[in-house]
């Protein structure tokens, strides 16, 4: 694998759907990717570093209402979080790596409506999506900054805004269930509205790290078998 992106994956909650990567750093890529995926999901970006080897890991979350669908572990839940993760070396700038993940978000939007992606087991999309993922990774390496960086900040802002809205809606739903037996008076409604706005402001402060968006995708990916790196460890 050339310089640039060393590993990348797409997850549904804790389930890795597809991944591509190699580790020529004596296990450092595997260790960094595992630490990254263990970090608690947030409305925006999460980061992990290996400063000694100049490796950078980051992930982006997309929250979605699961509609009380049955999950693979036979537990019903309205929590559905798509995770897009990557480990890269120092040859790529931070904005280039962010752009790569943002492209994956929009590239996978149709697949994320399929039953296989929403309910499938570990690596259920490895054979179908890993070749496409590898192609995206190679395009970052070969085409460089000009092909990847497009300063459209609104794309990730919209993703983070939707994430925050869904988190707040879920919190409000749980709160309403707890207080369904009693009606809220005007004072409690005002307090609830204020608390929601303060929480939204705090989430924006934590999630706001800037963003860039990639360009159009390339069709025609060869059907090849790509082994996973960390999913079966």
Once rounded to an integer, what is the mean pLDDT over residues 50-61? 96
Once rounded to an integer, what is the mean pLDDT over residues 215-230? 63
Q: What is the mean pLDDT of the chain?
A: 79
Percent of the chain scoring above 70 in pLDDT: 70
Are 231 and 123 in contact, with CB atoms under 8 Å apart?
yes
Once rounded to an integer, what is the mean pLDDT over residues 102-129? 94
Residue 207: predicted pLDDT: 65
pTM across the whole model: 0.70
Lowest mean pLDDT among 94-103, 124-133, 223-232: 223-232
Rounded to an integer, what distance in angstroms lies between the CA atom of residue 92 and that of residue 218?
21
Which class is 5-232 in CATH? alpha beta
Q: For residue range 197-212, what is the model confidence (pLDDT) as tens digits?
A: 777 777 776 665 433 3
Rounded to an integer, what distance in angstroms lies between the CA atom of residue 86 and that of residue 183?
47
pLDDT(151) > 60: no
pLDDT(31) > 90: yes
Residue 163: predicted pLDDT: 76
Once rounded to an integer, what is the mean pLDDT over residues 166-183? 67
pLDDT(172) > 80: no
- Top mean pLDDT of 2-6, 115-119, 150-154, 192-196 is at 115-119
User: Collapsing DSSP states into helix, strand and coil, what is residue 228?
Assistant: coil
Rounded to an integer, what distance in angstroms lies between the CA atom of residue 8 and that of residue 85?
5
User: What Rg do the C-alpha atoms of the chain give, in angstroms?
Assistant: 19
Residue 5: predicted pLDDT: 94
Once rounded to an integer, what is the mean pLDDT over residues 127-145? 82
pLDDT(145) > 70: no
Are 21 and 87 in contact, with CB atoms under 8 Å apart?
yes
Q: Which residues contact 37 (CB under 8 A, 6 or more apart)?
A: 9, 11, 16, 59, 83, 85
Residue 232 binned pLDDT confidence (cut-offs 50, 70, 90): confident
Enumerate the H helices of the chain as residue ranges.
28-38, 94-107, 115-119, 126-148, 154-178, 186-207
Rounded to an integer, what distance in angstroms lies between the CA atom of residue 101 and that of residue 95?
10
Once rounded to an integer, what is the mean pLDDT over residues 178-198? 65
Once rounded to an integer, what is the mean pLDDT over residues 115-121? 95
pLDDT(184) > 70: no
Lowest mean pLDDT among 18-32, 61-75, 208-222: 208-222
Residue 154: predicted pLDDT: 55
Sheet with strand 55-65: strands edge to edge: 15-21, 5-12, 79-88, 55-65, 45-50
Are 58 and 98 in contact, with CB atoms under 8 Å apart?
yes
pLDDT(25) > 60: yes
Rounded to an integer, what distance in angstroms lies between the CA atom of residue 226 and that of residue 123?
11
């Amino acid at each position: 694998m050339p310089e640039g992106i060393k590993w990348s994956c797409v997850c549904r909650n804790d389930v890795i759907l597809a991944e591509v990567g190699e580790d020529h750093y004596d296990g450092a890529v595997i260790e960094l990717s595992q630490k990254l995926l263990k970090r608690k999901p947030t409305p925006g970006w999460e980061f992990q570093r290996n400063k000694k080897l100049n490796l950078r890991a980051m992930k982006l979350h997309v929250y979605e209402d699961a509609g009380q669908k049955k999950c693979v572990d036979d537990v019903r839940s309205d929590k559905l979080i798509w995770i897009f993760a990557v480990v890269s070396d120092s040859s790529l700038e931070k904005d280039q790596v962010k752009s790569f993940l943002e492209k994956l978000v929009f590239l996978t939007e149709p697949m994320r409506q399929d039953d296989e992606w929403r309910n499938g087991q570990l690596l259920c999309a490895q054979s179908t999506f890993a070749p496409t993922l590898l192609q995206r990774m190679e395009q970052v390496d070969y085409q460089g900054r000009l092909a990847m960086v497009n300063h459209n900040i609104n794309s990730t802002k919209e993703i983070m805004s939707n994430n925050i809205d869904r988190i707040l809606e879920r919190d409000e739903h749980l709160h309403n269930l707890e207080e369904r037996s009693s009606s809220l008076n005007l004072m409690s409604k005002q307090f609830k509205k204020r608390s929601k706005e303060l929480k939204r402001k705090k989430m924006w402060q934590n999630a706001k790290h800037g963003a860039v968006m990639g360009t159009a995708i390339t069709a025609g990916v060869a059907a090849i078998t790509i082994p996973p790196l960390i999913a079966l460890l």
